Amino acid sequence: MDLGPRRMTTEARREQLLAFGRQHFAEHGYEAMPMDAIAERAGVSKGLLYHYFGNQRGFYMETVRAVTDEVIAITEPPADQPFDQAFRVMVTRFVGYVQEQGEIYTALVRGGLGSDSEVNELLDRVRVTSMNRILERLGLHQPSALSRIAIYGWVSLVENGCAEWTVTGGASPRQLIDLFISSFQPVLDVLQSEQCV
Amino acid sequence: MDLGPRRMTTEARREQLLAFGRQHFAEHGYEAMPMDAIAERAGVSKGLLYHYFGNQRGFYMETVRAVTDEVIAITEPPADQPFDQAFRVMVTRFVGYVQEQGEIYTALVRGGLGSDSEVNELLDRVRVTSMNRILERLGLHQPSALSRIAIYGWVSLVENGCAEWTVTGGASPRQLIDLFISSFQPVLDVLQSEQCV
DNA sequence: TTCGCTTGTTGACGAATCGTCAATAGTGGT
DNA sequence: ACCACTATTGACGATTCGTCAACAAGCGAA
């Protein structure tokens, strides 16, 4: 598959393998294929994968982490704008990301891939990061449990709504964005009733 | 662990093993422990587990199915009530179920347990069933993609909100129920704008 | 009670996969 | 051209999966 130079710098090889892993796991899922076969598809030896990622789960985890880090970076809301606007930017960027990288991201979130608690922590980092960003922008530094649950739930709505969108299609990005933003209103109501107490 | 009679009827043994599996997988997750060890904990031989469930995934899947079937049965909305009321019943029963069986259900949904696409289909059955029930009660027999995405997203909000609730606590069932019901309003708006076209 | 048949149950086995490690072979520096 | 360094390999031991022929617990009949 590779056909490039047999010996690469550590960094280049690592990125190449992660890029491959992203494609591979999105398509085949975690542990659907033995490491021997995965390595062969990647054009390297099994030993090399173990050398770079420790074990099978390690390879999968690093791949997932690369994607989640990307999502977190992309959805960073602009700092110099009022909440409403920054919020819309955040949602828009997320939907845009899903539109482009949809299949891979969905395969990830849906758990079409395998997972254990560690992998789930990675995925949860995306949700918690989004939640904290929203709380911070709203100036809620000590939110109640209910507030956190409300935002967390909304983030899940966005995530899974997008996942479903990737599968079924049939709606424009704009429609999705509007849906997500209007869905936030009840959550915002909870947060504000919070603030008054 | 067992200490009961060594030889049981097929049905009794099967239910005993499923009850054990529910506890075990909620605590240890899928594939965290070899089948030998699982069997030992269950007080039976490894061969018996394979006899009843075919393979490791089979045992896990049947366990998950038992739980998801339970959820689907419990959240069946009453047929003889108007939408608003039936809807509230549905949400209330779900929250009640999570309150009682929370840890097991959450371990399942969160994927603190492992999963592959087959397992995920099982979990998705719960969401899709809820979605279809709502659509049916509303008389929407040919919903647009956006409508389906909206409801699916809302179901995910409920699911993950409850999961978070199980972990963090700090809110009353009533608060959760109200949150979920008010969160449905924007979704309902989408559905109704649909209906007019 | 004893025999015998049905079937729930077992544990040792072969196959497959994981993860390791000493050996190999590119690559850059001198 | 040589050397030192390290990226890379593939065979190996260990672990786990899933199978299967043998075992034995219960029940009915004699």
Each residue of B52-90: pLDDT tens digit?
999 999 999 999 999 999 999 999 999 999 999 999 999
Helices and strands (H, E) in chain B, number of each type: 8, 0
Quick one: closest CA in A to B169, which residue? Answer: A145
With CB atoms and an 8 Å threshold, state whether A148 touches B168: yes
- Asked if A78 CB < 7 A from strand C, the reply is no
User: In this predicted structure, which of A40-54, B18-32, B151-165 has the lowest mean pLDDT?
Assistant: B18-32
What pLDDT is attached to residue A196? 63
Q: Chain B residues with CB inside 8 Å of A114's CB?
A: 114-116
Q: How far apart are CA A114 and CA A98, in angstroms?
A: 20
A115 closest CA partner among A48, A18, A40, A25: A25
Nearest to A115 among B114, B154, B165 (CB): B114
Substitution target from A122, A132, A160 for chain B, most B beta carbons within 10 A: A160
Q: Is B29 on the interface with A (CB under 8 A)?
A: yes
Distance B59 CA to C7 C1' (A): 21
Distance A61 CA to C18 C1' (A): 17
CA distance B90 to A43: 52
Give the model confidence (pLDDT) of A104-127 as tens digits: 888 877 764 555 778 888 999 999
Convert the pLDDT of each residue in B158-190 to its tens digit: 999 999 999 999 999 999 999 999 999 999 999
Residue B157 corresponds to which amino acid? L
Interatomic separation, CA of residue A7 and C1' of nucleotide D2, rounded (Å): 20
Residue B167 touches chain A, beta carbons under 8 Å: no
The arithmetic mean of pLDDT across residues B21-37, rounded, is 91
- Compute the nearest-CA separation of A168 from chain B (Å): 7
Distance from CA of A49 to the nearest CA of B (A): 22
Structure tokens at B106: 């959450």
Identity of the residue in A119, A154, A169 whose CB atom sits nearest the CB atom of B145: A169
Q: Please give the single-letter amino acid code of residue B169.
A: G
> CB of A52 within 8 A of CB of A17?
yes
Q: Which of A95-99, B111-115, B187-191 has the lowest mean pLDDT?
A: B111-115
Looking at the partner chain, which of B113, B149, B169 has a beta carbon nearest the beta carbon of A164? Answer: B149
CB A75 within 8 A of CB A84: no
State how far the Cα of A49 lies from the Cα of B151, in Å rounded to an integer.
42
Protein-proximal nucleotides of chain D (any atom < 7 Å from a CB): 6-11, 15-21, 25-26
Residue B140 gets the label, from left (phi > 0), alpha (psi -120 to 50) or beta, of beta
A156 contacts in chain B (CB < 8 Å): 156-157, 159-161
Report how far Cα A20 is from the mean position of its chain's Cα atoms. 17
* Tokens encoding B39: 């069997």
Residue B22 and residue B66 in contact, taking contact as beta carbons nearer than 8 Å: yes
Residue from A60, A23, A175 nearest B190 by CA: A175
Of the listed ranges A125-129, A130-134, B97-101, B103-107, the one predicted with least confidence: B103-107
- Across the interface, which of B113, B152, B183 has its CB nearest the CB of A164? B152
To the nearest whole Å, the CA of B114 is away from the closest chain A CA by 5
Cα separation, B177 vs A41, whole angstroms = 49
Q: Which two tokens stand for residue B43?
A: 């007080």
What is the rounded average pLDDT for all residues in chain A? 92
- DSSP state, residue B78: P
Task: Tell me the pLDDT of chain B averaged across its residues.
Answer: 92
Calculate helix-pair angle for A173-196, B145-168, nearest 10 degrees. 30
In B34-63, the residues whose Cβ lies within 8 Å of chain A are none
Q: What's residue A2's pLDDT?
A: 44
Q: How far apart are CA B117 and CA A112, in angstroms?
A: 4
Q: What are A71-80's contacts with CB under 8 Å, separation 24+?
A: A71/A97, A71/A105, A71/A126, A72/A125, A72/A126, A72/A129, A75/A130, A76/A133, A77/A133, A77/A137
The candidate with the shortest Cα–Cα distance to A163, out of A100, A104, A110, A114, is A110
- Angle, vertex CA A71, rays to CA A61 and CA A63, nearest 5: 20
Residue to substitute from A27, A144, A164, interface B, most B β-carbons within 10 A: A164
For the record, the structure tokens of B37 come out as: 């060890």
CA dist., res. A24 & res. A41, Å (int): 9
Please give, one letter per residue, the 3-state secondary structure of chain A.
CCCCCCCCCHHHHHHHHHHHHHHHHHHHCCCCCCHHHHHHHHCCCHHHHHHHHCCHHHHHHHHHHHHHHHHHHHCCCCCCCCHHHHHHHHHHHHHHHHHHHHHHHHHHHCCCCCCCHHHHHHHHHHHHHHHHHHHHHCCCCCCCHHHHHHHHHHHHHHHHHHHHHHHHCCCCHHHHHHHHHHHHHHHHHHHHHHHHC
**C-alpha–C-alpha distance, residues B181 and A93, integer Å:** 28
Instruction: Check if B169 contacts A (Cβ < 8 Å).
Output: yes
